[in-house]
Amino acid sequence: MKKRIAFLLLFFLVFGGFVVADEGMYLPNNLSKSLMEKMHRMGFQLTREDIWRQGGPSLSQAVVNLMGGTGSFVSSNGLIVTNHHVAFGAIQRQSALKGTDLIRRGFLARNIKEEIPAPGYKAFVLLKVEDVTKKALKGIKRGMDPLKKYKRVERNTKKIIKKAEKSGYRCEVKKFYGGEKYYLFTYLELKDIRIVYVPPRAIGNYGGDIDNWMWPRHTGDFSFLRAYVGPDGKPAEYSPKNIPYKPMRYLKVSARDINPGDFMFILGYPGSTRRYMPSFYAKFMEENFYPDRIKFLQGWINILEEGSKRNKMARFKNAGILKGLNNAIKNWKGQLDGFKNLNIVKRKEEREEKMIEALRRKPELRAKYGDVFSNYRKLFKEWRKLMRKSLYSGWFAYGSRLLSTAIIIDYWTRERAKKDIERKEGYMDRDRENLLLRLKLVDISFEPWTDRQVLKYFIKEQGSLPEEYRLKGLEKFLNRDFSEKNIDAFLDRLYKETVLTDKNKRITLFNSPRKKVLLAHDPFIELADAIIPELDELEKQEKRLSGMAMDVSPKYYALYRDVFGREFMYPDANSSLRLTYGTVKGYSPRDAVFYLPQTTLKGVMEKETGKNPFIVPDKLKELYHNRDFGIYFDPDLKDIPVDFLTTHDTTGGNSGSPVLNGRGELVGLLFDGNIESVASDYFFYPPITRSISVDSRYVLFITDKFSGAERLMNEMKIVK
């Protein structure tokens, strides 16, 4: 009997009870009655209006989009908590500006005057979501040319945005279910973001790339930022006169115990999933897309790592992009393993067989969707041809900081002469401020030796491609000679004669008429000008295929819905705000291995090697050995909790998302997924799909006991 009880206890600890992992990334403004009832049965204690209220206040207004990550307000004075790795770019840029290693040391503002700018950071608060499908599809006719169809929708959405967008706000139109629905999102744009507290690397990035995507995890992946506005309370650029933003809603921070089986939900901005992608697309991703990118990316990483060893400033300047690339390549390798281990292509084929069988059996479905698979395969064949050239051309254009700068300037001078509504997306009047900001920030991440070597690597890769994939403009500059000697001579001229290393000259060129820019004969701008027509042609082909997809994708989604049911169907992630729910739960990654769902400070100590990335600060050791744990001690774990696993459905972009208990209190910050489940972007597999979060008690423990940030502790509303 004792053995049976012990086994049941172990099962509960490992698997968090008998609750099944829940798939789905739901729009907070469109939560169904069935979904709400299901969450209430699991432990949700709030109402639909607590999650979303048009214009606010609701929990959705406490969550912010941080341009690739997520954060949340945790005080009435605009204090934002997010991941260390989401705030990493800010601390990296300040390290480069100051010549001081704030990445290693961390940063703490002891008072509000010491809070420093987070260069390039903005926070977006979602206020409204409106269905604009009819407006977006206005003028679309059956049998319309695919490119014309795409451009019509593009023009329609530009008009929608232009009409809706006002000073201090940012709007975007996103499509859902392959273009079946279009929604207009209106955000408050907070432009003055400052760094408040970033823990030292030995805590915020404990385990580094070795532990990235892995479990068990022992990192304190959190940081604090703050949003500021002008003295009038409206969004404004940085100024010493600005004041902290007063959010409509902020989160209480929980110091309560959490246990296996506890219900939790997450609000965040997941980047991209491809759950409804047909099997033949998925097969291409497995066999070609990821292998090509991994090979290409590894060469880029090698150059950055070599360049970072040259001196301290090179290390600071390369840190941001290197961290991002290392994260990407590990994810992509995990994707490949997931495709193989989960047999994703076969699973998708099995679903498609059910859809095809439904078409055979039901004439009414066949009448509506009978050509959907044949048309999808036709679209796929054309898309596949475009992918290889897009890969190498796209990375060539934006891998070098100076070449990407030249492309911005050249594009702006081209597009500025057109009517605003006719311009390329990203180069309209509304984008001028962001483009200028990118030009101003170049110096923070430009390291000459590394930039040159990266561009050389990209040029050599171009030379190794079959001729039909090469950039003809580049070939012309090199006289079709891709020998190392000729490439070096070409690079000598580029880097010797350019003025783009000077911020003031970059800005001057950006603001100059196109004729004057071309007469300057800057070699990087001349190269950009030569390859832009080819980049435009690639974009044109991509738009044409997107126009073809507008006929196919909505039908595919509709057929999927008719066959598998609509009750809990959700759209693929597209960086719009989503809700996902689940429980604290461990998993079994392979035979005879079980992972418990929580880690502790003891595990941090056990992992220490004394070498980066496993260095434990002396102060943290002292707190551990003295058991100076305060209210953050977990009586069940008999230790300070660090990280935990949940069954939530998340992906990139969710980093920094608040993990909330049934009361809507912050219990953790999501920062990762487990390596075995990164392919869930294509197929959600409940037994092993887990999200990894840092426990709010560890966040509070480090902020309070380790850093002595009493000001922040007093500012937050902590519940126990």
- Smallest CA-to-CA distance from 443 within 311, 313, 322 is with 313
Domain region containing 521: 398-547
Checking if the pLDDT of 16 tops 70, the result is no
Q: Does residue 24 sit in the same domain as residue 100?
A: yes
Q: Does residue 541 sit in the same domain as residue 637?
A: no
Checking if the pLDDT of 12 tops 80, the result is no
Q: Is 558 a domain residue?
A: no
Number of H-type helices and E-type strands within the chain: 28, 22
Pairing of strands 223-229, 63-65: unpaired
The Cα–Cα gap between 648 and 690 comes to 6
Active site residue 655: yes
Residues 6+ apart with CB under 8 A from 716: 74, 75, 79, 253
Q: Does residue 625 sit in the same domain as residue 715?
A: yes
pLDDT at 679: 96
pLDDT at 304: 97
The Cα–Cα gap between 349 and 438 comes to 44
The Cα–Cα gap between 319 and 327 comes to 12
Cβ distance 261 to 585 under 8 Å? Answer: yes
pLDDT at 3: 38
| Mean pLDDT on 391-397 | 84
Q: Does residue 209 sit in the same domain as residue 107?
A: yes
The Cα–Cα gap between 109 and 79 comes to 13
pLDDT at 397: 83
Q: Does residue 58 sit in the same domain as residue 206?
A: yes
Q: Which is catalytic among the residues 85, 211, 254, 553?
A: 85
Q: Is 349 a domain residue?
A: yes
The Cα–Cα gap between 70 and 80 comes to 10
Residues 6+ apart with CB under 8 A from 365: 358, 359, 559, 562, 563
Instruction: Give the model confidence (pLDDT) of 102-155 as tens digits.
Output: 999 999 999 999 999 999 999 999 999 999 999 999 999 999 999 999 999 999
Q: Does residue 52 sit in the same domain as residue 197?
A: yes
Tokens 């260390």 correspond to 84
DSSP secondary structure, 4-68, as one string:
HHHHHHHHHHHH-SSPPP----B-GGG--HHHHHHHHHHT--S-HHHH--TTS-SGGGGEEE-SS
Q: What does the DSSP 8-state code read for residue 476?
A: H
Q: Does residue 59 sit in the same domain as residue 200?
A: yes
Cβ distance 253 to 715 under 8 Å? Answer: no
Given 189, 206, 236, which residue is the final one in a domain?
Answer: 189
* Per-chain mean pLDDT for the chain: 95
Q: Does residue 39 sit in the same domain as residue 102?
A: yes
Q: Is 283 a domain residue?
A: yes
Q: Which is catalytic among the residues 221, 262, 643, 695?
A: 221
The Cα–Cα gap between 43 and 69 comes to 27
Given 370, 387, 408, which residue is the final one in a domain?
Answer: 370
Q: Is 385 a domain residue?
A: no
Q: Does residue 437 sit in the same domain as residue 503?
A: yes
Domain count of the fold of the chain: 4
pLDDT at 440: 96
In the structure, what pLDDT confidence band is assigned to residue 10 with cuts at 50, 70 and 90?
A: very low
Q: Does residue 227 sit in the same domain as residue 305?
A: no
Q: Which is catalytic among the residues 95, 400, 655, 693?
A: 655
Q: Does residue 111 sit in the same domain as residue 90?
A: yes
For residue 645, what are the β-bridge partners?
692
Instruction: Give the model confidence (pLDDT) of 107-117 as tens digits.
Output: 999 999 999 99
Active site residue 221: yes
Instruction: Give the model confidence (pLDDT) of 635-644 as tens digits.
Output: 999 999 999 9
Q: Is 387 a domain residue?
A: no
Task: Enter the tokens of residue 132.
Answer: 């604009």
Burial-class residue 694 by CB neighbours within 10 Å (0-12, 13-18, 19+).
Answer: buried
The Cα–Cα gap between 574 and 435 comes to 23
Q: Does residue 76 sit in the same domain as residue 197?
A: yes
Q: Is 559 a domain residue?
A: no
Instruction: Give the model confidence (pLDDT) of 451-469 as tens digits.
Output: 999 999 999 999 999 988 8
| Mean pLDDT on 625-642 | 97
Q: Is 393 a domain residue?
A: no
Q: Is 386 a domain residue?
A: no
Instruction: Give the model confidence (pLDDT) of 354-368 as tens digits.
Output: 999 999 999 999 999
